[in-house]
């Protein structure tokens, strides 16, 4: 049995480890190749190269009149784009979040923060999160907490996280691949759905997101049943958390991280699987406006990007804004060439699904031709 001082010292150690881990992740993500590895034929593991929006030689619309605006969970966005949950919880992450949020405000898009666990454990870490609402007063902002941590912090922790940001919604992330690989990981996944249900019952709009391994149809349906407001597939094909952990734990011998580097449901597959009639975010390897357009044609409402923004956020808000402006312009071109005058029209655009993505979806019982023939 630990005495009071020993217990406090242990808790402090956990707080410091949580905060330190944030910086380690940022360092690795900016210095190493942590994305899912391409397939043998050179195409991306996300499956996004298996998709072809059908070209319209006669778009019969004026590109300058294309309307990118949409509504997501009740909030207006100027483009169907979100900056994915990434960071906060260490003083060095404050500028990163500030720069991301400035760009989100200027572009009229949404933004998530990284896990707020560090600030729940140590109130002195709150500033790196609160800065987001300070500089993005009008943006759609969503908080973040791990499903594995829900048991400890409960609905009360989620409420405090929302208040910290004056957030519009709360993301609960599922990252059991990472937890299983991390030496200090929390691998007790029992009861997670019930904990999520409790948060939903409190009236908070909940986004359940994966972190790079995707979500299958049956799980999306279970999440819908317990009252979740939106799903972010965060499929396989972008940042690989096995990859990130590989660089954190590098040691001699057989690497479990390597074995699971490309584990998960590819993003393109997961977007189709999660088309269960609720707001849907596509993410995991979204690297251009064309990728966004393809995912929306497959059934997503908005798309989210994480990894490419890390380096740019360290550079400054202008670098983030320049990158995202390019993504938005590419999305607009894809909409023009698929004769989609707005985001709803893009959802009805014809898209052909080839290769491994088609094979997986067919084996999973999906009729892939319905996207090409509509």
Ligand X SMILES: Cc1cc2nc3c(=O)[nH]c(=O)nc-3n(C[C@H](O)[C@H](O)[C@H](O)COP(=O)(O)O)c2cc1C
Q: Which residues bind ligand X (CB under 6 A)?
A: 25-26, 29, 84-87, 114-115, 144, 171, 173, 209, 211-212, 234, 238-239, 283-286, 305-307, 310
- Considering the complex, state which of residue 177 and residue 306 has its C-beta at the smaller distance from ligand X: 306
Q: How far apart are the first and last CA of the chain?
A: 66
Could you tell me the smallest distance in angstroms from the CB atom of residue 368 to ligand X? 24
- Considering the complex, state which of residue 24 and residue 78 has its C-beta at the smaller distance from ligand X: 24
The CB-nearest residue to ligand X is: 238
- Considering the complex, state which of residue 285 and residue 299 has its C-beta at the smaller distance from ligand X: 285
Could you tell me the smallest distance in angstroms from the CB atom of residue 239 to ligand X? 4
- Considering the complex, state which of residue 115 and residue 229 has its C-beta at the smaller distance from ligand X: 115
- Considering the complex, state which of residue 244 and residue 339 has its C-beta at the smaller distance from ligand X: 244
- Considering the complex, state which of residue 24 and residue 359 has its C-beta at the smaller distance from ligand X: 24
Could you tell me the smallest distance in angstroms from the CB atom of residue 121 to ligand X? 14
Could you tell me the smallest distance in angstroms from the CB atom of residue 184 to ligand X? 15
- Closest-CA residue to 29 (of 291, 306, 255): 306
- Closest-CA residue to 72 (of 130, 141, 2): 141
Structure tokens at 294: 């393809």
- Considering the complex, state which of residue 16 and residue 314 has its C-beta at the smaller distance from ligand X: 314
Query: How far is residue 155's CA from residue 147's CA, in Å, rounded to a whole number?
Result: 12
The residue assigned the tokens 């804004």 is 321
Could you tell me the smallest distance in angstroms from the CB atom of residue 362 to ligand X? 25
Could you tell me the smallest distance in angstroms from the CB atom of residue 355 to ligand X? 20
Contact at 8 Å (CB) between 232 and 261? no
- Considering the complex, state which of residue 53 and residue 310 has its C-beta at the smaller distance from ligand X: 310
Could you tell me the smallest distance in angstroms from the CB atom of residue 349 to ligand X? 23
- Considering the complex, state which of residue 66 and residue 233 has its C-beta at the smaller distance from ligand X: 233
Could you tell me the smallest distance in angstroms from the CB atom of residue 86 to ligand X? 4
The residue assigned the tokens 């954190």 is 248
Could you tell me the smallest distance in angstroms from the CB atom of residue 343 to ligand X? 20
Could you tell me the smallest distance in angstroms from the CB atom of residue 356 to ligand X? 19
- From the centroid of its chain, how far is CA 6? 38
Using CB atoms within 10 A of its CB, is residue 62 exposed (0-12), middle (13-18) or buried (19+)?
exposed
- Considering the complex, state which of residue 100 and residue 339 has its C-beta at the smaller distance from ligand X: 100
């Amino acid at each position: 049995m630990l005495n009071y001082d020993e217990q406090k010292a242990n808790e402090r150690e956990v707080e410091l480890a949580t905060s330190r881990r944030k910086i380690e992740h940022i360092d690795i993500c900016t210095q190493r190749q942590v994305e899912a590895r391409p397939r043998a034929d050179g195409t991306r593991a996300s499956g996004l190269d298996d998709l072809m929006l059908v070209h319209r030689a006669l778009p019969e619309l004026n590109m300058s009149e294309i309307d990118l605006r949409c509504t997501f969970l009740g909030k207006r966005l100027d483009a169907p784009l979100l900056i994915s949950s990434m960071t906060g919880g260490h003083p060095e992450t404050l500028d990163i979040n500030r720069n991301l949020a400035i760009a989100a405000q200027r572009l009229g898009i949404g933004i998530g923060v990284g896990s707020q666990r560090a600030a729940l454990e140590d109130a002195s870490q709150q500033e790196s999160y609160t800065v987001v609402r300070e500089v993005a007063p009008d943006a759609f902002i969503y908080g973040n907490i791990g499903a594995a941590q829900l048991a400890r912090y409960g609905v009360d922790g989620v409420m405090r996280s929302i208040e910290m940001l004056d957030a519009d919604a709360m993301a609960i992330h599922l990252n059991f691949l990472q937890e299983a690989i991390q030496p200090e990981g929390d691998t007790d996944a029992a009861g997670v759905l019930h904990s999520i249900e409790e948060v939903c019952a409190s009236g908070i709009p909940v986004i359940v997101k994966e972190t790079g391994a995707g979500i299958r149809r049956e799980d999306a349906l279970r999440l819908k049943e317990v009252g979740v407001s939106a799903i972010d597939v965060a499929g396989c094909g972008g940042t690989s958390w096995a990859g990130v952990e590989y660089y954190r734990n590098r040691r001699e011998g057989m690497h479990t991280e390597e074995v699971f580097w490309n584990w998960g449901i590819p993003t393109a597959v997961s977007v189709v699987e999660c088309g269960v009639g609720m707001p849907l975010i596509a993410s995991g390897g979204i690297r251009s406006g064309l990728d966004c357009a393809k995912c929306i044609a497959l059934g997503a409402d908005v798309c989210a990007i994480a990894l490419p923004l890390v380096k740019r956020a360290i550079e400054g808000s202008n670098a983030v804004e320049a990158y995202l402006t390019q993504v938005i312009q590419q999305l607009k071109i894809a909409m023009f060439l698929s004769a989609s005058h707005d985001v709803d029209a893009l959802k009805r655009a014809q898209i052909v699904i080839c290769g491994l993505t088609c094979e997986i979806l067919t084996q999973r019982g999906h009729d892939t031709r319905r996207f090409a023939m509509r």
